[in-house]
A and B are shown apart, each in its own frame.
Chain A
Amino acid sequence: MLTTPWALRRNGILGINGRNVNYVADGNPTHLIPAVNDKIETKELARKAGVPTPELYGVIEIQAQVRHLDRILEGRESFVIKPARGAQGDGILVVDGRNRKGRKLASGKVMSDRALAHYISNVLSGMYSLQGQQDRAMLEEVVRFADVFDDVAEAGVPDLRIIVYRGVPTMAMARVPTRESDGKANLHKGGIGLGIDIATGVTIQGVYHNRIIHEHPESGAPLSGIELPEWDKIVEMSARCSEPTGLDYLGVDIVFDQERGPLLLELNARPGLSVQLSNGIGLETRLSQITDWVRPEHTLEERIAFGKSLQ
C-alpha cells in the first residue's frame, strides 16, 4: 500500500511539491496566472491563439445588470452561468429553457427568476471564486456534448485535460463523470480519469479514487482502446494555448461539441497529477526530456511532433 520515495523517483513520478517548486513556481510567472484563472480573460487568450471556445453571450459585473438578463441573452433561452474565477467546476449552472414558473435547469429543476438573481449575486460576491474575491458571472453557450466516449460517459459531460509543457503537449487524460461524482468530472469527487495516448488519441486505462482500473466501476464497460475523434486538432489546440499565456506548465481543458467539435473550456496553471496514474507513466520522465530538447526557435509543429514522440 505504500511505496518509497526513491521508487517514485526512479519511475519519474512528479509529486505535488515537485510540481509546485520546479514547474509552477519556477516556470509560471505569478503575474500571468490570474489571466488563466479568469475564464473571461482565458477566452481572450484563446482568441489570440486561434483556438475555438464556447460563445460568450455576455458578462454580468454588477447586481443591477441581472434585470437586463434577457437583453444580454438576446432572447436565447439556453445558456450556462459560470463564475469567471470559479474553481473545479463549482458554481456552474446550466439553463435549458423557461416556462411560466421560471428557468428550466438541465438538472430538471425549475428556478424562479428571483432565485436566479440571488444565485448570480452570490457568484458576484465571490462565493465560488478561488479566494472569495469579487467575481463576474459569464453567460455562455451551452456545449452540446458529443458522445465520443461510447457508453463510458453516461452520467455527464466528460472533458479532456492535456498537460502542455513549454508548448509541447506532454500527457493527456479524459475526465469522465460517474453517477457517484454527480455528473461532475472532478476526480476527487469520484470521476474517472481516462489516460489517453498522446500520440494516437486512444485511451489506455482509468484511474478512479487514485486506483488504476480497466473497467468502468459502474457499468463495467472496458476503458481501454477508445479512439477519440479529431485527436490531431485537439493536440494542436492545446499546444497553441501555451504561447499567449506565457506559462511553461499548463493544463488545457477541452470539451467536444456536437457541431463545433473540440472547444477550449478553460486553462489551469497548476494542473493535477492524476494524469500520471491514468497513463501509467511518470510526468517527470517526459518533462525532463522536454527540458533537454526544447529551444525557443522550435516551431509549433516541431513541438507537437516531439510531444507525440514522447515515451
Chain B
Amino acid sequence: MLRLLCATLIALGLGLFAYRAFVLDFPLTPDTNSPVWAFEIQADLPQSDNGARVSMYVPPEFGRYQPLREQFLSERMSLSIRSDPDGSRRAIWTTAELETATSVYYRATFFMKPVLSADRPQTKPPRDLPSDFDLVSERSLEQRTLANRMMADLERQAYDDDTLTSLLIDRLRDGSDDLARQLLDGRVGTTPVAETAAYVLNQQGRAARAVHGIPLRETVREATPIAWLELWTGSEWRTYDIASGDPFNPEDRMTLWRGDGDIVSAEGATLSGVRIALTRRDVGAVQALAQRQGDAERPLALATLLDLPVNTQLVLQSLLVIPLGVLVLVFLRQFVGVPTFGTFMPVLIALAFRSATLTTGLIILAIILGVGMAFRLAFSKMNLLLVPRLASMLTVIIMVMIGVSVGADSYALGTGFSVTLFPIVILTMTIERLSVTLEESGALDASKEFVGSVVVAVLSYLVMAIPLLQHLFFLFPELLLVILAILLMMGRYSGFRLSELRRFHELDMRG
C-alpha cells in the first residue's frame, strides 16, 4: 500500500519533471544563458496626398521561434494582420492621407530555444501544384522556355529530385552559363537564386518555394534577409541552402516569409527606406521563461510559478525548499539519531538563516538565546505561572530582536537582514525547553540537544541554500511529490540509527 503510493508519487513527480525539463525545455540549471533576440523592421514612408497601404511580412506566428512579445507601431495608420495559407504573416497599415513623412515599425523579442515542440506544423502542404501556364506569373514566356531548357539539361544529369535540386541551385548560383544568367536576369544574391530555383521547379510540376529569413548570429544594425529553398517531398518540406546547394536544417535562421516578393511593399507611395535590426541579448533562461507570458492557449504544463506576482514568488521560493530542510532533519533524526529541541525548530531556524549569512544568523541566534536565557533564569526565581511567563519571554524576545535589528543596522551587520524572520514563538519555546532540560536533565543533556539542534539547522540551511536545488524546486514544484514519497518511506524505516551502533556496541561482543 505504502510502496504503491510512494511508487506512484515518484513516477508522477519524476514524469512531470522529465516532461517539463526535456520536452518543454524548461531550464534545468539556474544560470544557463540563452540568447534573446530583439528584432525590428522599420519602413519609412514619404509625405503623400493620396494615402498609402504598406504591407510588411512579419515572422509567422507558429514558426520555430515564438515571439515573446511583439509590437506593431505606427502613427495614425490603421493596422490589420493577415495570415497567408503558407503560414506567412503580413502586417498591413493603411491610411487615407500622409500629411508628413512617417515610419511603421514591427518590434519583437524572440527566445533562442524553441520552447514548444519543434515538430509544430510549420506550414501546410501545397493544396494545388502550380500550373505550368501560370498566366499571373510576372515572368515572361521566354523565361518559361529557359526554365524548361534548364530542367531538361539537369534531368539528364540528376539521379533524383534531391540531386536535381542541388544541381539546379549550384548552376544558378554560379551563373557560369548563359542559361543561368538569363534566368536570373542579371540579379545576384540568395534571393533571386532561391526564387528562380523555385520557379524552375514549379514549371516542372514540383512544389517549391523560396523562404526568406534572417540568420540569428550576431547583433546587426542593418540586416538583409537571405533566402533558401523549400521543396515538397510529398510528406514534408525539405530545405536547401543556397550557398551550398545541399539540404540543411535552418535552425539558426528566423523565417520571415515564403514565396516571392519583398519584405515590405507599399501601394500609393514609394518606400523611402526599409531597415531590419537585430540585437542579441543574453538573459537567464528563467527570465526568458518568465517573459513568455500572455499565451492564453498554452497547455497547463507550461504554467510556472513565474506567472505569479513577484512577492508571492519570493514567499513560495522559501516555502518550496522547506521540505528539503525537513528531509535533512528527518534523515539526521531517524538515520543518525541526532537529538534536537522540538520537531521542526532546527528547520525554522535554518529558514531564518536564509535571510542572512550563516555567520550573522548564528551570531544573532546566540544573542537572542543568551539574553533570553538570562531573562528566563530571572523569571523562574519569581515563581510566575507558566503561560504568563511564556508570554513575558515572548515579549522579551521581541525586544531583543528589535535591539539586534537596530544594532545590526548601525554596524551594517548583514545589510538587508530581516531579524523578524526568526520564528519568535519557536525561539520562545526553544528557550523554555532549553531551560527545562537544563534544570531537569543537567547541562550535559541540554548542551547535547542544543548542539544537535544547531548542527541540524546548519546542515538544513546548507542544503536549502544550494542554488541548483532552489531553482529546481521553484521551476519544478512537482519534485515535492518525490520528497513526499521519500519522507513516507522514511516513516517506515525500522533499521538502526547510527547512534545505536555505538549505544549497543557492547552487546555485539556477547553475541
Contacts and interface: CB of A to CB of B under 8 A. Distances in A.
B186 interface: no
Nearest to A5: B496
A188 B503 CA distance: 12
A13 interface: yes
A115 B384 CA distance: 11
A122 B386 CA distance: 6
Contacts of A118: 383, 385
A5 B385 contact: no
Contacts of B386: 122, 125-127
Interface stretch (A14-22, A28-36, A66-74, A293-301): A14-22
Interface string B321-345: 0000000000000100100000000
B490 to A, nearest CB: 9
Interface in B479-497: 491-497
Contacts of A5: 495-496, 501
A17 B495 CA distance: 6
A21 B442 contact: no
B511 A282 contact: yes
B492 A21 contact: yes
B502 A280 contact: no
Contacts of B493: 17, 21
Given A17-B494, A125-B386, A210 B503 contact: yes
A286 interface: no
Given A11-B507, A126-B386, A2 B492 contact: no
Nearest to A2: B501
A280 B505 CA distance: 11
A169 B195 CA distance: 97
A279 to B, nearest CB: 9
B511 A16 contact: no
B510 A115 contact: no
Contacts of B502: 1-3, 210
Interface in A106-132: 115, 118, 121-122, 125-127
A13 B383 contact: no
A233 interface: no
Contact of A10 (B505, B506, B511): B511
A232 interface: no
Contacts of B510: 11, 280
A226 B195 CA distance: 109
A32 to B, nearest CB: 21
B494 A15 contact: yes
A3 B497 CA distance: 11
Interface residues of B, number: 29
Contacts of A56: none
Contacts of A189: 441-442, 445
Contacts of B511: 7, 10-12, 282
Contacts of B441: 188-189
B55 to A, nearest CB: 74
A212 B504 CA distance: 10
Contacts of A282: 507, 511
B297 interface: no
A125 B501 contact: no
B301 interface: no
Nearest to B334: A17
A277 B491 CA distance: 26
Contacts of B296: none
B282 to A, nearest CB: 50
A4 interface: yes
Contact of A8 (B334, B337, B387, B496): B496
Nearest to B433: A132
A48 interface: no
Contact of B508 (A3, A17, A122, A188): A3
A121 B385 CA distance: 7
Nearest to A88: B440
B153 interface: no
Given A118-B383, A121-B385, A125-B387, A11 B508 contact: yes
A1 B509 CA distance: 11
A208 B459 CA distance: 32
Contacts of A210: 502-503
Interface in A41-71: none
Nearest to A279: B507
B500 interface: yes
A8 B504 contact: yes
A37 interface: no
A17 B337 CA distance: 10
Nearest to B440: A90
A276 B506 CA distance: 11
A211 interface: yes
Contact of A16 (B337, B491, B501, B507): B337
Nearest to A91: B440
B507 A17 contact: no
Contact of A125 (B334, B385, B495, B508): B385
B505 A1 contact: yes
A293 B511 CA distance: 23
B501 A8 contact: yes
A8 B495 CA distance: 10
Contact of A15 (B383, B387, B492, B497): B497
Contacts of B503: 210, 277
Contacts of A125: 385-387
Contact of B385 (A9, A10, A90, A122): A122
B436 to A, nearest CB: 8
A15 B495 CA distance: 7
Contacts of B387: 125
A13 B507 contact: yes
A122 B337 CA distance: 32
Nearest to A20: B494
A22 B491 CA distance: 11
A22 B507 CA distance: 21
Given A115-B383, A127-B386, A7 B508 contact: yes
Contacts of A13: 496, 500, 504, 507
Contacts of B492: 21
Nearest to B505: A3
B445 A188 contact: yes
Given A10-B511, A11-B508, A3 B501 contact: yes
A115 B442 CA distance: 23
Contacts of A121: 385
A121 B389 CA distance: 13
Nearest to A89: B440
B185 to A, nearest CB: 86
B418 to A, nearest CB: 29
B489 to A, nearest CB: 12
B501 A17 contact: no
A282 B497 CA distance: 16
B386 to A, nearest CB: 4
Given A7-B511, A20-B494, 10 more contacts: A4-B501, A5-B496, A7-B508, A8-B507, A8-B508, A11-B510, A17-B494, A17-B496, A125-B385, A280-B507
29 contacts: A1-B505, A2-B502, A3-B507, A7-B511, A8-B496, A8-B500, A8-B504, A8-B508, A11-B511, A12-B511, A13-B496, A13-B507, A15-B494, A15-B495, A15-B500, A16-B337, A16-B497, A20-B494, A21-B494, A22-B494, A118-B383, A118-B385, A127-B436, A188-B441, A189-B445, A210-B502, A212-B506, A277-B504, A280-B510
Q: Which 3 A-B pairs have the closest CB atoms?
A: A11-B511, A125-B386, A3-B508
